Amino acid sequence: MKIGFIGLGNMGAPMARNLAAAGHEVLGYDPNAAAPDGVQAVASAVEAAKDADVVITMLPNGDILRAVAAEVVPVMRKGAIFCDCSTVDVDSARAVATQAEQAGILALDAPVSGGVGGAAAGTLTFMVGGPQQAFETVRPLFDIMGQKAVHCGTSGSGQAAKICNNMILGATMIATCEAFALADKLGLDRQKMFDVVSTSSGQSWSMNIYCPAPGVGPKSPADNGYKPGFAAELMLKDLRLSQQAAESVDADTPMGQLAAALYESFVEREGGRGLDFSAMLPRFEKRSRK
């Protein structure tokens, strides 16, 4: 397939590289980042998109996505597919899908889970909203970049799945970190805490796979001075998206709301910016109830 890849940052570059390594022709555009091995750099988003069968975007936020879509959708071939893999708000995903549909383009929102490691290894999970036919066409590309692709429903449902997943992740990470800090004060050894919880009903991805305590469990950013990984400010972005979505549909999400408030305070007032989101553990260690 001929692929236009727009946004070659931490996630986009390895994803584009994997597509090129699998034999696809990939034209890449990013105003600030170099094209990875095998990807042909072009001078504009329009150039990357105009002859492509599939345009993939991996961009920072919904405003930038809307701007890029406004530029490239009008030049894309009829019947081509616009597939956004960024994490953005549901409204932006739906607005872009409507614009694409009106221009005879099929649109998918296909955000990912798995982080930079998963992007490099080709083991991402894709959660996809949009027409089934477009999902089936792009599926071979999802299979190169990832290990699982779930068609979640109509436009916007991929983003809905992503923000719900990350709202759970934010809450479980905070719960795991505060429990470790409590266990410390109760004199419980961290390794014992891990051994019990990771095989008991308190287990979660945050404990079992991405343990926030250094030297305990599988290797994670905690073992690397809390260098991200998944930065606390990106978790804050996703929690804010979840609360924006909850407000728009009048859903009651008190745990998500509290997680958003705690990450906001961590990032904006407590030195968390630039640290991994699991650095909530040293934050709790320093604190007492008062």
**What would the x/- binding string for ligand NAD be over residues 162 to 201, using CB under 6 A?**
----------------------------------------
Which residues inside 226-285 make contact with ligand NAD, applying CB under 6 A?
Answer: 230, 234
The answer to whether 164 and 246 have CB atoms below 8 angstroms apart is: no
- Backbone angles phi and psi of 29, in degrees to 5: -135, 130
| Cα gap 25→16, rounded to integer Å | 10
User: How far apart are CB 172 and ligand NAD at their closest, in Å?
Assistant: 17
| Choice from 5, 29, 180, 194 touching ligand NAD (CB under 6 A) | 29
Residue 263, token pair as written in the block: 């990450």
Assess whether 162 carries a catalytic annotation: yes
Closest C-alpha among 12, 96, 3 to residue 53? 3
Question: Within 10 A of 132 (CB to CB), how many other CB atoms are there?
Answer: 11
Which candidate in 148, 162, 192, 237 is catalytic?
162
Among the candidate windows 52-60, 170-178, 204-212, 214-222, which touches ligand NAD by CB under 6 A? Answer: 52-60
The DSSP output letter for 155 is: T
| Cα gap 114→73, rounded to integer Å | 28
| Choice from 22, 41, 103, 116 touching ligand NAD (CB under 6 A) | 116
Q: Does 33 bind ligand NAD (CB under 6 A)?
A: yes
| Cα gap 132→113, rounded to integer Å | 21
| Cα gap 25→20, rounded to integer Å | 6
Among the candidate windows 30-38, 170-178, 205-213, 253-261, which touches ligand NAD by CB under 6 A? Answer: 30-38
Alpha-carbon dihedral of residues 206, 209, 213, 214, nearest 10 degrees?
-150
Q: Does 6 bind ligand NAD (CB under 6 A)?
A: yes
Which residues inside 53-72 make contact with ligand NAD, applying CB under 6 A?
Answer: 58-60, 64, 68
User: How far apart are CB 130 and ligand NAD at their closest, in Å?
Assistant: 17
Give Rg (Cα) of the chain. 20
Instruction: List residues near ligand NAD by CB under 6 A.
Output: 6-12, 29-33, 45, 58-60, 64, 68, 86-87, 112, 115-116, 230, 234
Residues serving a catalytic function are: 162
